[in-house]
């Protein structure tokens, strides 16, 4: 009996071994095991989806562009200039010649207020035609303009117009996506895409009031006055100018920041003009850098040399003298004439600023009242 049981166990063991070997061979043939290691071979994996180097997805700005176009107008203006008497004898148009300026504007109120550039309007007497996005052409009336900021406001007789929200231009970041909207070269309803190239660029050609947004979104003649819009559909700037060697787009466009534009716009709507600060210095200012100061024996200072001022000015009454070097205004170090002008122009009329000057090798502090900038100064 025991021998039968032993024989049965032996046969069962042999059968088990045979089955195991068969399973192993089958798995090897099916590629489930690695003949080299005897471990499970890794299953094929799908390729990962391609992503941008930053991990960000490029935005679809179609909806933003559509809303921006509904709030942007084409706005040529024409003014008539007196022809030089010498040329009147050769002119068949008489003594007055029309000059037309191309431009754009952005609707800022549902009842027809439009913000644009001063240089688009040219002056309050210009003949302005506003073409709305729906094709209607309306006469525009100048509410007010400001030469220093290069901004102006126009009113048309219309209601229910589309507008865009304002963005906070102080939160703009370099490489942020923006759209420039307007009518370049009279091609109305044009949208161009780019990025913010610089958030605080000063352009001397514009004057002494604004730090500008630089963008590589294509801006050409006729874009002036149109909105610069961010990816959220907010106005972050007013397209104003280009720097170019050819007269056309070279990737150097500039826009007035929305925060500054809003402030000027509100004052134009309320008072029809903008009051800027002044202490009576002329434009005859000279930048003093450390190298120049060292050569003059003044030490490594930086500032602005005063070459001229008006005798009826607050600076003169406060004791400022010719050849004073302005070092700081209210504790802010002065690095160039443009910065000095911007600080003074932006100061509240009636306030007093503390100006530190270097005179004959000694530092002197002056308390100078801010007065209203007079026309022609």
For 93, residues 6+ apart whose C-beta sits below 8 A from its C-beta are 83
* Active site (annotated) includes residue 150: yes
Pair 235, 262: CB distance under 8 Å: no
> Could you identify the residue written with the tokens 């107008």?
73
**List 150, 169, 183, 324, catalytic entry:** 150
Distance, in Å, from the CA atom of 122 to the CA atom of 234, rounded to the nearest integer, reads: 27
Count of residues for the chain?
Answer: 377
Q: CB–CB of 91/84 below 8 Å?
A: no
Enumerate the β-bridge partners of residue 202.
Answer: 211
Which stretch of DSSP H or E encloses residue 277? strand 277-278
Per annotation, catalytic residue among 104, 118, 119, 216: 119
d(CA 137, CA 75): 9
The CA-CA-CA angle for residues 279, 206, 226, to 5°, reads: 125
Single out the catalytic residue among 224, 313, 314, 328: 224
Q: Are 332 and 195 in contact (CB under 8 A)?
A: no
Signed CA dihedral, 287, 291, 292, 297: sign only: positive
Catalytic residues: 119, 150, 224
């Amino acid at each position: 009996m025991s021998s039968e049981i032993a024989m049965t166990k032996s046969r069962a063991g042999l059968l088990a071994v045979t089955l195991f070997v068969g399973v192993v061979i089958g798995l090897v043939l099916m590629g489930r095991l690695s003949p080299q290691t005897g471990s499970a071979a890794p299953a094929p994996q799908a390729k990962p989806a391609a992503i941008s180097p930053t991990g960000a997805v490029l935005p679809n700005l179609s909806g933003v562009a559509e809303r921006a176009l509904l709030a942007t107008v084409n706005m040529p203006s024409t003014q008539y200039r007196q022809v030089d008497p010498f040329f009147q004898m050769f002119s068949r148009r008489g003594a007055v010649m029309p000059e037309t300026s191309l431009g754009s504007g952005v609707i800022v109120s549902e009842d027809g207020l439009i913000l644009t550039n001063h240089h688009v309007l040219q002056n309050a007497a210009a003949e302005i035609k506003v073409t709305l996005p729906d094709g209607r052409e309306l006469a525009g009336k100048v509410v007010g303009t400001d030469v220093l900021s290069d901004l102006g406001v126009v009113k048309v007789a219309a209601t229910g117009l589309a507008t865009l929200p304002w963005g906070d231009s102080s939160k703009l970041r370099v490489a942020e996506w923006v759209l420039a909207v307007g009518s370049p070269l009279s091609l109305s309803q044009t949208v161009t895409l780019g990025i913010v190239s610089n958030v605080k660029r000063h352009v001397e050609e514009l004057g002494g009031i604004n730090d500008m947004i630089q963008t590589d979104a294509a801006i050409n003649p006729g874009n002036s006055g149109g909105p610069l819009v961010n990816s959220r559909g907010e106005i972050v700037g007013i397209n104003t100018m280009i720097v170019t060697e050819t007269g056309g787009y070279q990737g150097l466009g500039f826009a007035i920041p929305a925060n500054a534009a809003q402030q000027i716009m509100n004052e134009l709507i309320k008072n029809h003009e903008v009051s800027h600060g002044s202490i009576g210095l002329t434009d005859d200012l000279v930048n003093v850098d450390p190298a120049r100061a060292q050569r003059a024996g003044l030490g490594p200072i930086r500032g602005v040399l005063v070459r001229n001022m008006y005798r009826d000015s607050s600076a003169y009454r406060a004791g400022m003298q010719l050849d004073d070097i302005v070092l700081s205004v209210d504790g802010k170090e002065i690095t160039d004439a443009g910065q000095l002008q911007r600080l003074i122009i932006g100061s509240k009329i009636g306030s007093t600023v503390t100006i530190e000057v270097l005179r004959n090798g000694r530092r002197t502090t002056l308390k100078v009242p801010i007065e209203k900038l007079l026309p022609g100064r």
